[in-house]
Amino acid sequence: MIKRSKITGIGHYVPENIVTNQDLEKLMDTTDAWIVERTGIRQRRFFNPETDTVANMSAKATHMALERAGLQAKDIDFIILATITPDYFFPGSGVLLQRELGLKEIGALDIRNACSGFIYSLSIADQFIKTGMYKNILVVGAEIQSSAMDLSDAGRTVSVIFGDGAGAVIMQPDDRPDAGILSTHLHSDGRHAEELYIKDPGSSRHVRLNKDMIDQQGIRAHMNGNMVFKHAIVRFQEVIKEALEANNLQKEAIDLLIPHQANLRISNYVQEQLGLSDDKIYNNIMRYGNTTAASIPIAMSEAWAEGKIKENDLICLAAFGSGFTWASALIKW
């Protein structure tokens, strides 16, 4: 019989450096009211370049997840790390996380699906466990976005949104036929890749990086906010309904929806369209901003710690972001 996979431990880590909207007012022509109205964000965390890396933030989140799962690092037999901000151009940060945890020669896989990266990683881990290939998989979403932000008037529409952090889960087999990861659903549409991207440095240019690329802001994040918003509110609903239909469930069955923390207006719109009460959706973007692949596992970790995720609850995860990519997962806790 094919086993299901379950999440047995959740953890997160965010840097100590709190950056408020008032702090950003000192760097660019913006206001707290403008940022809150358009994004819902009041503060975010920025990494400390002297102490924080994607790999060690991931390790700190992992240690919390392991403790909650009642496991030790040596029990992990595979690592999947979702990030678009690796510590090096190559190798990926998965092997750096393996090193941070003091693990031997287990496999480490890096996933680059931006905001949808954690759910993509969850889906991959689910397949490995179903086939019996691995039994204790570490899945992490981690990002350092602040170092790519243009903290000036020119970059203010993007730079006020993003923050840094890491979230981790431990996945193991589950013998219960009606529990664990019920299904995952993954999508992409590369026609819109340039609507939210960082162009440089890239291997397809004659020179990967030069002064012109820096001067023309190719190394900074660029986003067509209106285009992203219009697609997100549609795809979020579609992929949530897809997950419910695949399991013959109605939206009323959802105990908690944890969306990728992209914009509070998007989350509120999706909540309204699905008719979910406030206690059936979890948002923490007001505290952390958009932490890309880390946003869902950070939110899951906090929701679990607050008692909002309980045994037998139906949890729906959904994400939309750069690529465009979007995804959902339905979990019976």
The reply to whether 197 and 316 lie within a common domain is yes
What pLDDT is recorded for position 1?
Answer: 60
* 206 and 91 belong to one structural domain: no
Residue type, 51: T
Whichever domain contains 45, its CATH number is: 3.40.47.10
Residue 113 designated active-site: no
Q: Among 14, 90, 43, 87, which residue's Cα sits nearest to residue 294?
A: 14
Cβ-proximal residues to 28 (8 Å cutoff; 6+ apart), any chain: 151, 152, 153, 155, 156, 159
> 303 with 324, same domain?
yes
Q: If you search the block for the tokens 């979890």, which residue do you land on?
A: 282
Give me the domain span that covers residue 213.
180-332
Residues 328 and 186 in one domain: yes
| DSSP structure class, residue 86 | -
Q: Are the CB atoms for 124 and 331 separated by under 8 Å?
A: no
Q: Which of 174, 192, 226 is the last residue before a domain boundary? A: 174
Shared domain for 75 and 224, answered yes or no, is: no
Assess whether 244 and 292 both reside in one domain: yes
- Judge if 135 and 263 occupy the same domain: no
Of the candidates 321, 271, 265, 266, the one whose C-alpha atom is nearest the C-alpha of residue 293 is 321
Q: 225 and 268, same structural domain?
A: yes
Whether 188 and 291 share a structural domain: yes
Concerning whether 260 is annotated as a catalytic residue, the answer is yes
Asked if residue 214 and residue 196 are part of one domain, the reply reads: yes
- Considering the domain architecture, whether residues 90 and 118 belong to the same structural domain is answered as yes
Is 290 among the residues known to form the active site?
yes
Q: Are 207 and 170 in the same domain?
A: no
> What is the pLDDT, as a whole number, of residue 213?
77
Cα distances from 235 to residues 228, 290, 321, 325, in angstroms, run: 10, 18, 10, 9
Q: Structurally, how many domains does the chain consist of?
A: 2
* Alpha-carbon 258 to chain mean position: 11
Q: Which of 12, 21, 115, 185 is flagged as catalytic?
A: 115
Provide the residue-wise pLDDT of the chain in tens; the chain has 333 residues.
Answer: 667 899 999 999 999 999 999 999 999 999 999 999 999 999 999 999 999 999 999 999 999 999 999 999 999 999 999 999 999 999 999 999 999 999 989 999 999 999 999 999 999 999 999 999 999 999 999 999 999 999 999 889 999 999 999 999 999 999 888 889 999 999 999 999 999 888 888 888 878 888 887 777 778 888 898 899 999 999 999 999 999 999 999 999 999 999 999 999 999 999 999 999 999 999 999 999 999 999 999 999 999 999 999 999 999 999 999 999 999 999 999
Which of 260, 283, 284, 316 does the annotation list as catalytic?
Answer: 260
Q: Which of 155, 174, 193 is the last residue of a domain?
A: 174
One-letter amino acid at 307 equals: G
Specify the pTM.
Answer: 0.96
The Cα–Cα gap between 188 and 106 comes to 30
